[in-house]
Structure 1
Amino acid sequence: MKASPRQQRLLLDLQDLDNTLARLRRKRATLPEREELNGLAAEAASAREQFMAAQRELDAQTAEITRVESDVALVQQRRDRDEQLLAASTSSKEAQALQTELETLTRRQFELEDRELELMEVQERAQAAFAEAQTVLAGVDARRAAIQQQISEAEQRIDRDLASNSEERDGLAAELQRDLLGVYEDLRARIGIGAARLRGNVSEASNMALAPAELSGIRAAAPDELVFCPGTGAILVRAEDAEA
């Protein structure tokens, strides 16, 4: 295939842009913040697990206190009723029975109130543990949100560069003859590089010196004749032609 030295030079510019685009895509995919965010996942899961456990414990203690308070209220209602009945009773036998029940209810109420105090202490500790777990989780969530914001901002910057370089590439590709661009794109898809310079006797596609016979054949080719790197198969743009 033939292509003017100018067309071949454009291939080098196109390859530079493709290299830049590839570098930007790698940079976007490997932002250090992504690794930091991934590293935070285990910490976030642990913090959320501790928060949920503390919440369950607090809910359990609160429910138990509510139950005991309800029992205290019922006992108090029974005492109030028995005291009213005792005050109105005219039977000594009934009065004795009511008095005995009142004593039992009083003991039961004391027991329940003591239990309520114990539970309130436990609930206070559960509340403190819950507040601490909530603070830890909020801190992790805040750090995660900050990292995600950093990632978003970095992606936006890279995306702008990608868009700018892609637009420039499209314009440059439009200047290339179609068959030449097709060869370049096919090579780039298969071997990762479409075109490179030949500087002296070194192919920048393989970063290796060419054998004398290989170099002689390339030098003998006409300036508008496409030549290829023996090691990689990429189009070689002769440096003296590229810089002319």
Structure 2
Amino acid sequence: MKAAPDAQRRLLDLQAVDTALAQLAHRRKTLPELAEIETVAREISALEDERVRAQVAVDDLDRDISRFEKDIEQVRLRKDRDQARLDAGGAVREIEGLQHELATLNRRQSELEDAELELMEKRESAEATFGEVKSRLAAATERREAAERRRDEALSDIAKEEEFKSSSRAPLAGDLPADLVALYDKIRLDSGLGAALFKQGRCGGCRIELYGADLARVKSASADEVVRCEECRRIMVRTAESGL
């Protein structure tokens, strides 16, 4: 393929724009905020599970305490009835029976109240754990939201840069021969780099230095010949810096 030396030189300008666009695309995919958001999301998921378990523990204790409170209330009501009957008097055997039952109910009430107190202490600890998990969850959520804001700001900046670069690419490519741009784009899409400066006997694409017949081939090629590297197949653009 042949193309005017100036058109070949302008391929380097086109490549600079495409390289910048590729770097912006890579930057979008590798923003540190993306990894941070993913890490915090896993942390939040684990904390949500922990929060549910802590909530269940508190709810279970509340249910048990409520049951004890009902049992204690029933014992108190029964004591009140027995005490009223005892106060009313009656046969000696009935009085002795009531006194025995009252003693049993007092012991039962004491046992229930001790058990309830133990549960209330456990609930206090469980509630503290629940509160601590919620605090960690809130802090993690705030970190994720902050990272998402930074991500969105970075993506907005990248989009603006891409728009600027893309707007300069179209007229640049439009001024070049269509077949030259087609060749360049095919190579670029295959390898990421379509054209590179040939400088001091070295291909700017694969960085391999040419010797002997390969170097002679480049030196002897006419100025309008589109020369490609035998190693990486990229277009080697020759300029005054090439040292030929």
- Is TM > 0.5 for Structure 1 vs Structure 2? yes
TM-score (norm 2): 0.84
Deviates more, 1:10-19 or 1:232-241: 232-241
Q: CA deviation at 1:19?
A: 0.9
Please say if 1:153 is aligned against 2:153: yes
- The residue correspondences of 1:63-212 to structure 2 (distance < 5 A) are 63-86=63-86, 94-212=94-212
Counterpart AA for 1:154: A
Q: Secondary structure at the residue paired with 1:3?
A: coil
Deviates more, 1:36-45 or 1:161-170: 36-45
Question: Do the aligned residues in 2 keep the contact of 1:37 with 1:147 (CA within 8 Å)?
Answer: yes
CA drift at 1:166 = 2.1
Q: The residue matched to 1:209 in structure 2 has which SS?
A: coil
Q: In the aligned structure 2, how far is the partner of 1:130 from the partner of 1:230? A: 68
Q: Counterparts of 1:198-237 in structure 2 under 5 Å?
A: 198-237=198-237
Residues 200 and 239 of structure 1 are in contact (CA less than 8 Å); yes or no, is this contact kept in structure 2? Answer: no
Q: Deviations 1:182-203 (Å, cap 9, x if unpaired)?
A: 1111111223321111224222
Partner of 2:55: 55
1:12-23 aligned at under 5 Å gives the runs 12-23=12-23
1:79 partner amino acid: K
Distance 1:214 1:4, change over 3 A: same
Report what 1:2 is aligned to: 2
2:197, 2:237 within 8 Å by CA — same for their partners in 1? yes
CA distance in 2, matches of 1:26, 1:156: 15
The answer to which of 3-12 and 229-238 deviates more is 3-12
Aligned partners of 2:153, 2:200: CA distance in 1, in Å?
44
SS of the equivalent of 2:197 reads strand
Contact 1:5 1:241 in 2 (8 A): no
CA distance, structure 1, for counterparts of residue 119 and residue 191 of structure 2: 72
Relative to 1, partners in 2 of residues 1:191 and 1:42: Cα closer, same or farther, differing over 3 Å? closer
- Paired residues of 2:9 and 2:238 also in contact (CA < 8 A): no
Structure 1, unaligned runs of 5 or more: none
Query: How far 1:97 sits from its partner (Å)?
Result: 4.0
Provide the C-alpha distance between the structure 2 equivalents of 1:88 and 1:20, rounded to a whole number of angstroms: 100
Partners of 1:137 and 1:191 lie apart in 2 by: 45
For residues 45-67 of structure 1, the C-alpha deviation after alignment (integer angstroms, 9 at most, x for no partner) is: 55444433332222222221111
Shift, 1:69, TM fit:
0.7
Count, aligned residues:
242
* Matched residue type, 2:25: R
My pick for the range that moved more, 62-71 or 86-95, is 86-95
SS in 1 for 2:237: strand
Q: How far apart are residue 39 of structure 1 and its match?
A: 4.3
| Counterpart residue number, 1:28 | 28
Corresponding letter in the other structure for 1:221 = A
d(CA) in 1 for partners of 2:162, 2:193: 19
Q: Deviations over 1:57-115 (max 9, x none)?
A: 22222221111011112222323344445556766655554444333323222221222
Say whether the 8 Å CA contact 1:223–1:241 is kept in structure 2. no
Q: Deviations over 1:133-166 (max 9, x none)?
A: 2222222222232223222222221222122212
Query: How far did residue 16 of structure 1 move?
Result: 0.8
Q: Give the conservation status (yes or no) of the 8 Å contact 2:21–2:165.
A: yes
RMSD, aligned α-carbons = 2.7
In the alignment, structure 2 segments of 5+ residues that lack a partner are none
Alpha-carbon displacement from aligned partner over 1:7-45 (angstroms, at most 9, x marks no partner)? 222211111111111111222222233334444455445
What is the rounded CA distance, in whole Å, between the counterparts of 2:144 and 2:232 in structure 1?
A: 45
